[in-house]
Structure formats: structure tokens, C-alpha cells
Structure 1
């Protein structure tokens, strides 16, 4: 699967866009991430989007998960309760790929204290610009 994901075109970096709020594309990108985050947060979540950049077959997002209706998530009640002292909050960074007619989660990280997604460009073949990194 990783080999097929590495086929990003050179033109991808030129065509970055932010899917519109309320659009079906934006919802589909977030829905690709939701099951993994809900499992880690041990309950339903909604996302406050900080960053969303999409290219023809890739999307990169930075989101703040919260409980439906805006409630905060108690770290002690999540799968991260034993890692709280090594985390910088619950910010989620994710890479999503459009394949097979739908958006699919490729990788994500929760609460990193560094730029944990810096290696995704090389690992998955996505443009560094999509990740907000210099090319």
C-alpha cells in the first residue's frame, strides 16, 4: 500500500486548496479520521479544524478533538491517560489519501511535542508543501 501511495505527482504541490466548510469533501476527510480518534478518545468526537490542505489525492489536517456539542475531553478518560506527561495536548495531525473512490486514513499522531509528521513526505511520497513544510 505504501508504494502505491508514493505516486504523488509533481503538480500536486501547486494545486493545494482548503475544502470549504460544510462541503461533502471536508466531511469525508474528517470522517476518514474519526474512527481512529474516537477509539483513542474512547467516545464520540467532533473536530475543530485548525488546518486542512488538500491536493487531488491527499489531504493533511490539524484538528482539535472535542466531545459533541463542544465539551472538553478528559485526557484521563482516554487511551492516552498514561502518556499525558509526554504529550502536548490532544491536537491531531493526520494524512488522508483519496483511493478507491473515498478518503482513507494513512497516518495520524495525537499530541506530539515535535513535528512528528515531518517524515511523512519521504515515507508516503506526499509533497512537503501539503504538510506545511518547506520543499
Structure 2
């Protein structure tokens, strides 16, 4: 009997520990204030690189209480295409895979703030973010 209790207690402990570390991720609703604030956190950096105003087509957006991760496609307002040759990234064009932006933002001091981003990576450039910033790997869609 004591062995069974120990095994049962161990299993319950593992389940509870897993639940404690599980993070509820959600996609902020289109048109919501939260979604707009998350996108606005990355907008200045992307606009500086694109050398002009942008709007985003969201491919992926996952948010947790203090983190948000997104994959977005920048375009000119109204849906216009961005000419890479006219951006601040033109010298890196041969080493890029389009203009896809992957970004990490954190919620601090009552607002969303850009932590890191990468434009047009040819690999999983954000794979080191969990170690570097302490963001849950699952938020980034990375297996642990």
C-alpha cells in the first residue's frame, strides 16, 4: 500500500506541476484594443525599416498575460506592396526570405513594449528567445 500511495502522489504532483506551468494562450480579437496595442508596439520599428507607414496582415498572434508573439506581413496602408529596394533592408535582400516579421512584445508598465523582432529570416531566428528573454517556448510555437 505505501508504494501505491507514493506512486499516486508522484503522479498527482507531476500533473499539478504541469498545470501550474501551462499557459493559456489566446489570439486577441480582430479590431480589439489589445490587438491594436500589440501591433502598435512593433509598428515604429517596422516603419523605420520599411521607410514609411505600414499596416499588418496577421498570420499568427498568440498572447499570454505578459507576452505576445506574432508573425505578420507588413504592407503599405490600403494593401500596397512594399518594394524591398526602397527600404532600409535593401542591402540584406539577398539573405532574406521576404518581409515577414516575427516579433515578441511584453506587457509592462501598463502597455505593450517591443522586446525583439526579426524581418525576413531564412531560419527560426526566434528560437533563442525563450532562453534570452524567459518567454515560454510554447508561446512561440516551439516544442520543448
TM exceeding 0.5: yes
Structure 1 vs Structure 2 CA RMSD: 1.1
Cα separation, 2, equivalents of 1:83 and 1:120: 22
CA distance 1:69–1:61, change in 2 (3 Å): same
Quote how far apart the aligned CAs of 1:125 are.
Answer: 0.3
Cα separation, 1, equivalents of 2:103 and 2:24: 19
Runs of 4+ off more than 2 Å: 10-14
1:112 aligns with 2:93: no
- Partner SS, residue 82 of structure 1: helix
Uncovered stretches (5+) of structure 1, i.e. residues with no partner:
1-9
1:17 aligns with 2:26: yes
Given the alignment, which residue of 21, 27, 34 partners 2:43?
A: 34
Partner residue, 1:59: 68
Give TM-score, length-normalised by structure 2. Answer: 0.85
CA distance 1:11–1:130, change in 2 (3 Å): farther
* Count of residues paired in the alignment: 126
1:33-83 Cα distance to aligned partner (Å, 9 max, x none): 000000000000000000000000000000000000000000000001111
Larger RCO (alpha carbons 8 Å, 6+ apart): 1
Quote how far apart the aligned CAs of 1:12 are.
Answer: 6.4
Answer 1 or 2: which has greater helix percent: 2
- Partner SS, residue 69 of structure 1: coil
Cα separation, 2, equivalents of 1:99 and 1:11: 22
